Chains A and B, each alone.
Chain A
């Protein structure tokens, strides 16, 4: 795993240098397995698409059915850049169908019901698909309704941003944030109390908007507060300390154990639940990130954890194999998987080969050997032009790919270049099952 991690980030490092390469063998893969298995994959996001491509190469004769109503595929790691005016919204948008191999059936409908006992998935169009193996890669849903007074049509107006909601909303977020960086005032940056995708993104947005305001010469006109849901600014203690120090350096005020529950756009007041009771904070710009949960179709399927994340419904999988703990023919991968960390594209990159290994091994009558150690990576942008390449695992251990070379807790230009230049190509190669 360490070796492959190094190789992954070597791609990014090599990409920043732009070296030309000689020819090499393409698609050097493990052996294929003949099978007539029906494999259903719910979700054509990063995880579902990458797995579809990999399985279609590994399995000869399998019927692979992908269920997803979305015509557009979103490169979600780019949303932070869109919301800071560094990329246009179309930077993150591509067509779902363009990433899929031939021979795979794409049902462009939503999955409406999963019956893990009958091994069937029903779609919104009434189709019932039987499976031998099911991969739940549905992603998660943003529960905007959980924030009282908030609705998505507010984004971009009256100082309200919400970059997670998609490329258009990220673009509108920049409209509101840009106005804030011009005019100054109080900036309020939030994050939810639930598990969330890319827990670094709320911090990135905070750092970027602060930096952009200062570059415009308006540093003296802004006052930024970061409202954190818990007592630690980041899930990995050593990173939390670093963020605390950076906040001190930038003059960003953290308020801890503050969970956004209501906004009043007219008065520009946000209400937070805190251990001491509700607290109101005023704002001129607020970044809203709502609670995040598994889709209803998953939560109603009986596949969720019964004793963990009960308000969120993540799929009950073994954290090392991504295999369902009660239904061995079911796997979950990506945001919807009920593992302690790993709602990032980098996590998907490491989870997908693990699922591939175990699924193909099972079909071949063997045991899979790959293990997911919780690896994830966060290029934590701390200003335009610099980032910290933070990589960690289930143990909260830092697992730098280039120890002694690219320091994880240093703000570096090379880490920014990786984010700007190489991560999207690497992501795209991952979608195609080639990285």
Chain B
């Protein structure tokens, strides 16, 4: 294996999670990402209300990701010993935060799709109650 390593990486991840679980996780990640892109394209705009809730969910996702890694590795926060550890720690938190926000936004968009005008033959969607749209 002087070259590569995509195939090798896949083999390692299959061993890490078990073959079916790994591909299940890949499928879930792909579906959530596709769902996110789908609602963005469908709605043609970002709902700031939904995005707000997604943002609020981010710290929970970050904390959950960090706690999960600490738990499965018998580690604690005081084990961070150098700059690369802090970078990795922040990276894990960021992955958890971003993943959660995408998931929350996608679920919101499916559960509460935007109201469309729909009567004038214009398929353009509008966001419901966009932030700042109400008169003060």
Do A and B associate with each other? yes
Which A residues form the contact surface with B (CB < 8 A)?
3-4, 7-8, 10-11, 14-18, 20-28, 86, 353, 383-386, 405-407, 410-414, 416-417, 420-422, 424-426, 428-429, 432, 434-435
Q: A27-B7, A417-B69 are in contact. List 10 more A-B contacts (CB 8 A).
A: A15-B13, A21-B9, A22-B6, A25-B7, A26-B10, A410-B82, A413-B80, A413-B85, A429-B14, A434-B11
Set of chain B residues within 8 Å of A17, measured between Cβ atoms = 88, 91-92, 95
Set of chain A residues within 8 Å of B7, measured between Cβ atoms = 24-28, 434
Q: Which of B4, B5, B14, B91 has the most CB of A within 10 A?
A: B5
Residue of B nearest to A419 (CB): B73
**Docked-complex contact A425 and B81, CB < 8 angstroms:** no
Residue of B nearest to A384 (CB): B74
**Docked-complex contact A412 and B84, CB < 8 angstroms:** yes
Report if B111 contacts A (CB, 8 A): no
The answer to whether A21 and B10 touch (CB under 8 A), given A4-B1, A10-B5, is: yes
Q: Mark each residue of chain B from 58 to 91: 1 if its CB lies under 8 Å from any CB of chain A, else 0.
A: 0000000000010011111011111011001101
Residue of B nearest to A417 (CB): B73
A4: which of B2, B16, B80 is its contact (CB, 8 Å)? Answer: B2
Chain A to chain B contacts (Cβ below 8 Å), 14 pairs: A4-B1, A8-B1, A14-B12, A20-B25, A20-B30, A21-B9, A26-B10, A26-B11, A386-B79, A407-B82, A412-B82, A413-B81, A420-B73, A424-B16
The answer to whether A7 and B5 touch (CB under 8 A), given A412-B84, A425-B13, is: yes
- Total residues of chain B contacting the partner, CB 8 A: 37
**Docked-complex contact B1 and A353, CB < 8 angstroms:** yes
Residue of B nearest to A12 (CB): B12
Report if B29 contacts A (CB, 8 A): yes
**Docked-complex contact B88 and A16, CB < 8 angstroms:** yes
**Docked-complex contact A429 and B73, CB < 8 angstroms:** no
B7 to chain A: closest CB distance in Å?
5
